[in-house]
Structure 1
Amino acid sequence: MDEYHKKILQKNRVNLVTSLDPSNLYDALLAKGVFTQDMIDEIKSSGTRRDQARQLVRDLETRGRRAFPIFLECLQETGQHGLVEILQNGAPPVRIQPATPTQVDRPKLQPLPLISPVDVDQQTKHILPVYPVKKPNTPTPSPGTDPLRPGPQGRPCRDSIQNYKMDASPCGHCLIINNVEFEPDSKLNNRNGSNVDCEKLERRFKALNFIVEVKTNLKQRQIKQALSTLSKIDHSQYDCCVVAMLSHGAEVNHNRFPGAVYGVDGQFIKVQQITNYLNGQNCPSLQGKPKLFFLQACGGGEKDIGFEVSPDEAQPSVRGFDDQTDAIPTSSSSDSLSASDEVDARASLPTPSDILVSYSTFPGFVSWRDPQAGSWYIETLDSILDEFSATKDLAEMLTMVNLEVSQNCAKGVFKQMPGYFNFLRKLLYFQTST
């Protein structure tokens, strides 16, 4: 598809997701060679009407040059004239054939070349109707845009990614652990501003139709107990599970997921242990369902002073000079941390499928928090979810969070780079009220 047509679809994605009725388009898009039957089946299985509309538009961008005008033609034929007008506004003129009985919709029969019987079998398996081409010298589409490009062993390639089912009501459970006040013996400072983060996350995930439970100032043992309780819930009627951890953190040795999160008693729990509570072995009712972990905690004690970039790349946002970090005290190191829970630490994910762990900062570095406004990461995450949940999948939104947080600057010097470990197998779109 031409780049300007892709931009038109992207610009109007909200209108398309809100108003498009994809069920009326499937037969026409299949007959005109825009989609294959496999692709239509995948779109139909993506969920609600909104999910199907979103998947259809996303897949449409991967098709050939004629996909956009044929899409407009199908909208016109099915009476969705308002969307046609919106998509044509400001776009280069696209000629739409009137939907009349004289429209040539039958395949044009052409003789097959003389080829071997094996090749004949391969070719006839994927014969598509051949339509009149307006420009006889139009170049052959590239393999990536061919509507039925053969894949291995003659099977059609799948050019789309499925969506997770996310239409249960409620969608699932969300556990928020907010550690603010730490015991004196822990030698960890109180995390002023964390309540602001907690309130934002609680409000945001309630708006996304989750059952939200907040637990405050938990010791390591209590964190494990809360996660164990969550894992024992029957999640069969739900589609997703979310855990958010707001605490001090540190860099520790790991097998899969780096980092550790502290209880208010100064004892830590490794991130890979946290994820283990909800894996397929320990929580069977969440098998095949997305399990999301959001961690506002330092990955270590190192401070990032950044590096110089070109003026076009730099859009600095200088944050407060009173910003604090969620790192362990400088006098401690990851090598000197207690390993009293080593037996539990040996448990590991057999397969980390359907898990996403989003970190507020790169492993080994501090995470910045404003005592009044809350942390950079949660503030930005909440803002991005608020603005884009209706139209973008989670991975794309987290990349936007990475970009925005990376442009902040603490005390005029220090930087922060969030990131995520993504083992999801499908795209994830949250429920929204719009």
Structure 2
Amino acid sequence: MDLKHRQILQRNRLNLITALSPADICDGLLSKGVFTQDMIDEIQSKITRRDQARQLVIDLETRGSQAFPAFLECLRQTGQHALAELLQCGDGARLPPSVPIQPSLIPLPVQNPKYTEKPDRPDFTPSRLGPLRPERLPVPNPLSPSSETQAVRPTRQRRDSIQCYKMDASPCGICLIINNVDFDPDCDLKDRTGSDIDCDKMEKRFKALNFEVIAKRNLKYKRIRHEMASLAKRDHSAYDCCVVIILSHGTEANHNRFPGAVHGVDGPAVPVQLITNYLNGQNCPSLQGKPKLFFIQACGGGEKDTGFEVSPDEVEPSLGGIDDQMDAIPISSSSDSLSTSDELDARATLPTPSDILVSYSTFPGYVSWRDTQAGSWYVENLDCVLEENAATDDLVTMLMMVNAAVSQISAKGLYKQMPGSFNFLRKLLYFQSSLS
């Protein structure tokens, strides 16, 4: 959808939620090809009309350039002329007195200002000077003393309090890993060589953290949704936490809470917002009040970060390898001139429900690098930080260590990457570990 049309929907979101009748226009949006049957089912699964209207508007923003005019046509065909005129004006015109109006809230745009929506395309293939090696990827801990002065690390006491989540169940919870490697040739997305290495690392790591790990490989769009729905239907009463790790290609998909989406191997992309919604307190009651963690290794766009100059004391440079690739969608063909093998992965954004944390491998709008022989920069460092620090540090602190480590790596000595998290946890989270 064009940016100006998304902004009109965002400015009038409360008016639409208040006055829109989703049941009247779903069939029209389906017949015009704006929505799929799965999307209609998702909207109709919401209990209240307001929730249905909210989901319809959220999904509408992710559709193509014809979605907005088709939506206006459906409004007029179903007699919702006041809403159609309000959106047609696009300048904050008021609804007639018969239709209640709410003050408009204008969310800040999430996408990179240089980024404009493009059709989905395959990755680039840059390269590095060699596979990732732990000795070349320092994992700085800015909050801890140096290793020379910290011979013995103290153990900590875990307890369920205002400060810490209860994390002592055995197993602690379920960890679902979705590892998409081999993409259908017709969808124009390259295979993600090296992703199996990431999957193996995360499977071993979360087993060591006392999670029941379920790894799924090469899932299509509908199968991703099916696995998430199955996970939400499980009884998590005996568990303290739930983890979802997604390794795939990604694309832009703006939502009011979580922009970004991850591709199934058949091409279509599942919005990250929808993935997180499966496990929120409303859809998965047995996880209410418990931490839900999402780790996304995928690209957030086609921009490549060349970084900025700092003093030598600020960084400890670390080069990537010859087999680095990007799990992103290129913006222009000029990037194809790079003869490297790093790939881009996707980015996403996060919802407002409590007890959710979404960690992304890269900043919104930018590429995420993956070494075909040693796995992605993000997963490599995440695994290393968890191994070294899970016994003593909370999750948010460890993710800051991952950010610091990845920020020091360079692809071809030029391109950078900056992971980040959307944190809606209410307490500190400490994993179980063999050292605790």
Shorter-chain TM band: 0.5 to 0.7
Q: What residue number does 2:257 align with?
A: 256
Secondary structure in 2 matching 1:320: coil
Structure 2 runs not aligned, ≥5 long = 1-143, 334-349
Q: What residue number does 2:287 align with?
A: 286
Q: What residue number does 2:433 align with?
A: 432
Write the mapping of 1:122-161 to structure 2, written as runs, cut at 5 A: none
Work out the CA distance in 2 between the residues paired with 1:303 and 1:196.
24
- On the 8 A contact 2:360/2:421 being kept in 1, the answer is yes
Q: 1:222 to 1:331 in 2, by over 3 A?
A: farther
Work out the CA distance in 1 between the residues paired with 2:373 and 2:250.
20
Q: What residue number does 1:230 align with?
A: 231
Work out the CA distance in 2 between the residues paired with 1:315 and 1:170.
38
Give the aligned residue type for 2:373.
Answer: Q
Secondary structure in 2 matching 1:424: coil
Work out the CA distance in 2 between the residues paired with 1:377 and 1:365.
14
Q: What residue number does 1:354 align with?
A: 355
Work out the CA distance in 1 between the residues paired with 2:229 and 2:418.
31
Give the aligned residue type for 2:176.
Answer: L
Q: What residue number does 1:274 align with?
A: 275
How many pairs align? 275
Work out the CA distance in 2 between the residues paired with 1:364 and 1:14.
41
Q: Return the match for 1:51 from 154, 158, 173.
A: 158
Q: What residue number does 2:424 align with?
A: 423
Q: 1:239 to 1:304 in 2, by over 3 A?
A: same
Q: Return the match for 1:17 from 155, 158, 175.
A: 155
Work out the CA distance in 1 between the residues paired with 2:158 and 2:167.
9
Write the mapping of 1:404-419 to structure 2, written as runs, cut at 5 A: 404-419=405-420
Query: 1:396-419: CA deviations, max 9, x gaps?
Result: 000000000000000111000000
- On the 8 A contact 1:319/1:412 being kept in 2, the answer is yes
Secondary structure in 1 matching 2:230: helix
Secondary structure in 1 matching 2:262: strand
Q: 1:261 to 1:17 in 2, by over 3 A?
A: same
Secondary structure in 1 matching 2:246: strand
Work out the CA distance in 2 between the residues paired with 1:359 and 1:411.
22
Deviation at 1:258, TM superposition (A): 2.5
Work out the CA distance in 1 between the residues paired with 2:372 and 2:154.
41
- On the 8 A contact 1:243/1:293 being kept in 2, the answer is yes
Give the aligned residue type for 1:198.
Answer: C
| Greater Cα radius of gyration, structure 1 or 2 | 1
Q: What residue number does 2:336 align with?
A: none
- On the 8 A contact 2:303/2:331 being kept in 1, the answer is no
- On the 8 A contact 1:299/1:361 being kept in 2, the answer is yes
Q: 1:161 to 1:12 in 2, by over 3 A?
A: farther
Work out the CA distance in 1 between the residues paired with 2:320 and 2:145.
33
Secondary structure in 1 matching 2:398: helix
**What TM-score, normalized to structure 2?**
0.60
Give the aligned residue type for 2:405.
Answer: E
Work out the CA distance in 1 between the residues paired with 2:330 and 2:188.
7
Secondary structure in 2 matching 1:17: coil
Query: 1:171-227: CA deviations, max 9, x gaps?
Result: 000000000000011100000000000000000000000000000001111000000
Query: 1:80-138: CA deviations, max 9, x gaps?
Result: xxxxxxxxxxxxxxxxxxxxxxxxxxxxxxxxxxxxxxxxxxxxxxxxxxxxxxxxxxx
Q: What residue number does 2:402 align with?
A: 401
Q: Provide the identity percentage.
A: 68
Query: 1:317-349: CA deviations, max 9, x gaps?
Result: 0111331000124469xxxxxxxxxxxxxxx95
Work out the CA distance in 2 between the residues paired with 1:377 and 1:394.
15
Secondary structure in 1 matching 2:303: coil
- On the 8 A contact 2:241/2:292 being kept in 1, the answer is yes
Q: What residue number does 1:317 align with?
A: 318
Q: What residue number does 1:308 align with?
A: 309
Give the aligned residue type for 2:175.
Answer: C
Query: 1:278-326: CA deviations, max 9, x gaps?
Result: 0000000000000000000001111111111111102110111331000
Secondary structure in 1 matching 2:222: helix
**What TM-score, normalized to structure 1?**
0.61
Give the aligned residue type for 2:361.
Answer: S
- On the 8 A contact 1:322/1:411 being kept in 2, the answer is no
- On the 8 A contact 1:250/1:301 being kept in 2, the answer is no
Q: What residue number does 2:207 align with?
A: 206
CA RMSD between the two structures: 2.3
Q: What residue number does 1:21 align with?
A: none
Give the aligned residue type for 2:271.
Answer: K
Give the aligned residue type for 2:163.
Answer: Q
Work out the CA distance in 1 between the residues paired with 2:150 and 2:316.
27
Work out the CA distance in 2 between the residues paired with 1:196 and 1:404.
19
Q: What residue number does 2:190 align with?
A: 189
Deviation at 1:15, TM superposition (A): 4.8
Query: 1:221-258: CA deviations, max 9, x gaps?
Result: 10000000000000000000000000001122121123
- On the 8 A contact 1:242/1:292 being kept in 2, the answer is yes
Deviation at 1:428, TM superposition (A): 0.3
